[in-house]
Amino acid sequence: MSARSEDGVAQVVRRDADRFDTPLHFLNGRFDLKVSARETGGALCVFDTVRTESGGPPLHIHFDQDEWFFVLEGEFILRVGEVTHRLGPGDSVFGPRGIPHAFANLSERARLVVLFQPAGTMEDFFREGSAKGKMTPQQFADLSAAHRMKVVGPPLPLDSAIG
């Protein structure tokens, strides 16, 4: 399935551009939507994230979405279940729905592609989070719960054991 406009024409989304020209700033980075749920009948959505701060989201579970991570630039640690991986450019990892996961950027500048399948309300989650700005852990947990996710632990420490 390709990204297509409502008239069925394939759309090109350039580097450092958002599909609808509305990049989101959330979770220590900029989120550019590349493929929207609107274009895939809800099958998936894809974000290209540019990160200029270390860290990442708390350990959480998606009840409805599988999530795939692909590192374009920089270095990340990413925990899926009980295993933490160190990832660099060209590396990817799959996070199945229902399995706790989290990631943290370790670089001054990094880029991570994140795909959600099915899309569910993930675009709304990021849009609402961006509009709220900096949130307390409870506010983040509440926003997550409203989008069928559950926070189950803190963000990953930047010195997480790799295993």
**CATH superfamily, with its number, for domain 24-153:** Jelly Rolls (2.60.120.10)
Residue 58 near residue 102 (C-beta atoms within 8 A): yes
Q: Per the structure block, which two tokens stand in for 161?
A: 């054991």
Long-range contacts (CB closer than 8 Å, 24 or more residues apart) made by 133-140? 137/58, 140/57, 140/58
Residue 154 near residue 59 (C-beta atoms within 8 A): yes
Residue 1 near residue 40 (C-beta atoms within 8 A): yes
pLDDT along the chain (163 residues), means of 10: 56 91 92 95 97 95 98 97 97 98 96 98 96 94 98 92 65
Global pTM value: 0.91
